[in-house]
Amino acid sequence: MPKRRDFLLGSAATATAVSMFPHVNAQSSKRPEINALQQGYVGQYQGGVYLLPANSETVQWGWFNNAEPPRARIKSGDTVVMETMMASLNQILPGSSIEAITKLRVDFPGRGPHSVTGPIFVEGAMPGDVLKIKINRIVPRSYGANWNLPGNLKLGQFPDKFTQAQVKHFYLDLGRGMTEFLPGIELPVRPFPGIIGVARAESGQYSTVPPGAYGGNLDCRELVQGTTIYLPVFVDGALLWSGDSHAAQGNGEINLTAIETAFSELNITVEVMKKMPLSFPRIETPTHWITMGYDRDLNKAIDKLEEETVKFVSEWKRLSSKEARQYMQDYGMCHVAEVVNQVKGTYCMLPKQPTPKVAPAAVKDTRDSYVTTATNADAMAAMNSSAMQMIERIAELKKLSLIDSYALASLAMDTRIGRLEPGARTIHNLLPRSLWVKKAKS
């Protein structure tokens, strides 16, 4: 059987590249073998697998810099098995108080809270290439935390409404794939890297908070085990990092945090795709392609998403721009990824196989979900209205405090973008009824 070099099984690289980069030949870089001893680097390299621990030598706190010396060196096609740390260089651990967590943020301004492992130098990667990163396996630690910082720090979606700080610590039952939010409320454990990115082209030190064309803090909850992300390369060697490890997250990540955890194992295979035209990250799942749009203005992020999706569908399906836009409306399921990282994120899921057209997003409760919706000329105003409706409604319906309802929405809400119409943005928020479970009698 021919080897699957890029996106589809096929004997020719040209054919395989059509699904994502039409009319371009996809060839992996081939470089001489790397010395197995990896002198001058941290970790162990043997047989195409690099083991990269998370320690004081391999992890940075809250910033990227394309001048940062690599901690590992690999070649195209190698697998990296890396560890990551909890936030703020592993200082947020079970039992950490909200006062201590707040102090870590206040005492170190200008950087993100994220601990990022790397960078990893990928031989043969050059500006204009693409890194294809397949997530083979994710093993989180057995604990995590979610926190809302004091309102005066102006962080999260509603800092003026939720001025009280709070932290919740979680035990992750990895056997069941669940964690308890409160008695009778359980969340699925669905780990993914909040940050996976390469060095940006600009020199200097930059906060890990805002995402961009280089990836970084994308906070796209679909980037789970078994998926692949494609990142454009901006510097020699690409310089790959990962961190901000999540055990679960809702769309929007509205109280600022997911269930923040660390990974005992993030197992990825990295391949260089030479001279590939890619302006922004894309994701591949076993069943879908995912296009992305990010901007400081949510309206522009949605516009960027539409632009990226139309461009991709035009190439993928060989359609005109008008036909591709209609295809997106008929078959795309578009979501808000996050709204709390300075740069706001959106993504659209496009099924690989023919499916029925996507039904209009629900505007009232369904059998499976509680639903709130809002329409406004400004997408962020619609997002604010719909999210607050959900928080207040669930607090009243389920007898939760408002701040607990805020946290629950941050960890489990599904935020969908309605039909794209001139002058009107509609945001639908859904919260699964399945979160509420009946406890068996002892």
Query: Do both 91 and 192 map to the same domain?
Result: yes
Query: Do both 401 and 295 map to the same domain?
Result: yes
CB 130 within 8 A of CB 198: no
271 CB-side CA count, 13 A: 17
Element (H, E) at 129: none
CATH number, domain containing residue 107: 2.60.120.580
Query: Do both 365 and 392 map to the same domain?
Result: yes
Query: Do both 290 and 224 map to the same domain?
Result: no
Residue 312, in any domain of the structure: yes
Residue after which a domain boundary falls, among 255, 282, 309: 282
* pLDDT by 10-residue block (mean), the chain, 442 residues: 31 34 36 49 92 97 96 97 97 97 92 95 97 98 98 96 97 98 98 98 96 98 98 98 98 98 98 94 98 98 97 96 96 97 97 92 96 97 98 98 98 94 91 88 47
Residue 10, in any domain of the structure: no
CB 52 within 8 A of CB 80: yes
- CB within 8 Å of 51: residues ≥ 6 apart: 43, 44, 45, 81, 82
Residue 15, in any domain of the structure: no
Residue 207, in any domain of the structure: yes
Burial label, 134 (beta-carbon count in 10 A; 0-12, 13-18, 19+): middle
Calculate the alpha carbon distances from 40 to 73, 126, 259 in Å: 10, 22, 35
pLDDT attached to residue 39: 59
Query: Do both 290 and 238 map to the same domain?
Result: no
Residue 22, in any domain of the structure: no
Query: Do both 342 and 257 map to the same domain?
Result: no
CATH number, domain containing residue 366: 3.10.28.20
Residue 26, in any domain of the structure: no
Structure tokens at 333: 């399921």
| Total domains in the fold of the chain | 2
Query: Do both 289 and 271 map to the same domain?
Result: no
Quote helix, strand, coil % in the chain, to nearest 5. 20, 35, 45
Residue 44 bridge partners (DSSP): 51
Query: Do both 58 and 201 map to the same domain?
Result: yes
Query: Do both 253 and 173 map to the same domain?
Result: yes
Query: Do both 214 and 311 map to the same domain?
Result: no
Residue after which a domain boundary falls, among 263, 282, 301: 282
Query: Do both 205 and 290 map to the same domain?
Result: no
Nearest to 257 by CA among 396, 115, 361, 411: 411
CB 330 within 8 A of CB 322: no
Q: Is 312 helix (H, G, I), strand (E, B) or coil?
A: helix
- CB within 8 Å of 294: residues ≥ 6 apart: 211, 212, 218, 280, 301, 304, 337, 343, 344, 345, 346
Main-chain phi, psi angles of 233, to 5 degrees:
-100, 140
Nearest to 324 by CA among 22, 16, 5: 22
Residue 20, in any domain of the structure: no
Query: Do both 170 and 116 map to the same domain?
Result: yes
Residue after which a domain boundary falls, among 282, 308, 332: 282
Question: What is the chain's length?
Answer: 442
- CB within 8 Å of 228: residues ≥ 6 apart: 132, 133, 134, 135, 283, 284
Residue 194, in any domain of the structure: yes
Residue 173 lies in domain: 31-282
